[in-house]
Amino acid sequence: MAVRMLADDKIKFTILTEAPIDPSAPTAVELNAGIDASLKISKDGFKWSAADSDKISEPALGSATNATVPGMGNYDLGFTVWRQFAVIGGFDATADDVFDAVKVKNSSLWCYARKTDKLATADWEADDEIMLGAAVVTDTPKTSNVTGYIRYEITVMCQTGYPFITVASGI
């Protein structure tokens, strides 16, 4: 019997700073070697979805309706990253890997999100469904908070989207 699944603790998000051999079918080895951002970004600031495609309407001269079809795809992408600091003051470069990957404008990244019945902390495996993968370019991080955790909003621009793909087998 199939059951509905709550999304809580199920979204895995991985950032690659180098392109996988095939960005439309990354391997588990490539994804597991990437930066696991699943526990370093806020649910509130997470936008990782297709948006409405451009609409094309070119009816025939004698047509009575303005029928449209989907054109170029669009994506609504971005996330809010928490800065990671050492427990006893100072900066922890190894823990701040997500911010380090996104802090420079025009950085090229390949990001992949899994939203299935697996826990966010579970490793990627061959045949896992990727909700949306995307080759992106970063914009300058924005800050708007003066209370709460130190965080930055990351706007990314989709260069190529890969909706509902599968993790490839192999290395």
Q: What is the pTM of this model?
A: 0.91
Q: Please check whether residue 160 lies inside any domain of the structure.
A: yes
Q: Please check whether residue 117 lies inside any domain of the structure.
A: yes
Question: Structural domain of residue 113, as residue ranges?
Answer: 29-50+73-166
Q: Please check whether residue 103 lies inside any domain of the structure.
A: yes
DSSP for residue 128: P
Decide: 149 and 143 in contact? Cβ < 8 Å: no
* Pair of tokens at residue 53: 């495609």
Alpha-carbon gap, residue 29 to 36, rounded angstroms:
13
User: Total domain count for the chain?
Assistant: 1
Model confidence pLDDT, tens digit, residues 6-61: 888 999 999 999 999 999 999 999 999 999 999 999 998 899 999 999 999 988 88
Model confidence pLDDT, tens digit, residues 119-171: 999 999 999 999 999 999 999 999 978 888 999 999 999 999 999 999 999 76
Task: Look at residue 85 and tell me whether its pLDDT is greater than 90.
Answer: no
Residue 48 burial (10 A CB sphere; 0-12, 13-18, 19+): buried
Q: Please check whether residue 68 lies inside any domain of the structure.
A: no
Task: Look at residue 99 and tell me whether its pLDDT is greater than 90.
Answer: yes
First to last CA, the chain: 34
Q: Please check whether residue 59 lies inside any domain of the structure.
A: no
Q: Please check whether residue 67 lies inside any domain of the structure.
A: no
Residue located via tokens 């469904």: 129
